[in-house]
Amino acid sequence: MLKNFGKDIKTAELMRVMLTATLLVLGIRQLFFYTNAGSWVQQALGRRPSRDAISQPDIASSGSLANGLTNGLTNGLTNLNGQTSTPAAIAAANQSVVMLTGNQSIGSGVILTSNGLVLTNSHVVRNGGSQWTVRFANGQERPARVIAVGSREVGIFYDLALVQVEGVSNLPVAQFSDRLPNAGEPVWAIGAPYGRADVVTQGQLKQITTDGILLTNTEVHPGNSGGPLLNQNGEVVGINTEINPSLPGDADTAAISVSVLETYLPKLMQ
């Protein structure tokens, strides 16, 4: 059990991670282990049917640093859609979004717990080495380590990983929606495309596959992987995972939905 965890992980920490996954599945509204429970627990998802994995073209948005784009570490959001303002709920959600930087690899993530458990994509961290830095929305940075990695080769549903930030507490945490958006509803992505932190883009949900993958036309780039897809209330409805111009319905981005997270995030613990 917990085969992907490093040998130095303490038993208490393992129990915390396992409890986190269990609560996400069961939709429990209170957190008994963490003393500073985050709002993600209060927003715990209702139970949904298990879903079968699908195979997406392996065009995962790479975490490699791109040439020619500076690393813009700004405290405010940058809107790539040319809008002069960002909805307040989306701006507030940015407080629970992080940028992860490893060895020639970069990506995004969402804060699950107030003591620094972060959810991201496995393809972001798999080849990024053992030393990671997490940058928060306020510009502060802390070291972090990967504690669980799914196998992207098995399918998009397993493109998940957990990262533990060192020496933090009382962090703002992500809120997860209790329903998926409908086709045509606006959605927002926040992440660190090409290493530029705090970038937001707006798009539209085009389709939800029978397997629970969200297909959107939201503009994302390498570095957005692992970051949240948000509804108009600033709640996480998915984790941005792939750029694929071959998707149906004028969509070019695939996100792992919250309904899929319920089923597959606990499998990381096995």
Active site residues: 123, 159, 225
- Give ∠ CA 202-206-207 in degrees, rounded to 5: 135
User: Identity (one letter) of the amino acid at 107?
Assistant: G
CA 144 from centre of chain: 16
On whether the CB atoms of residues 78 and 94 are closer than 8 A, the answer is: no
Cα atoms found within 13 Å of the Cα of residue 188, Cβ hemisphere only = 27
How big is the chain, counted in residues? 270
CA 102 from centre of chain: 16
φ, ψ (nearest 5 deg) of residue 259: -65, -35
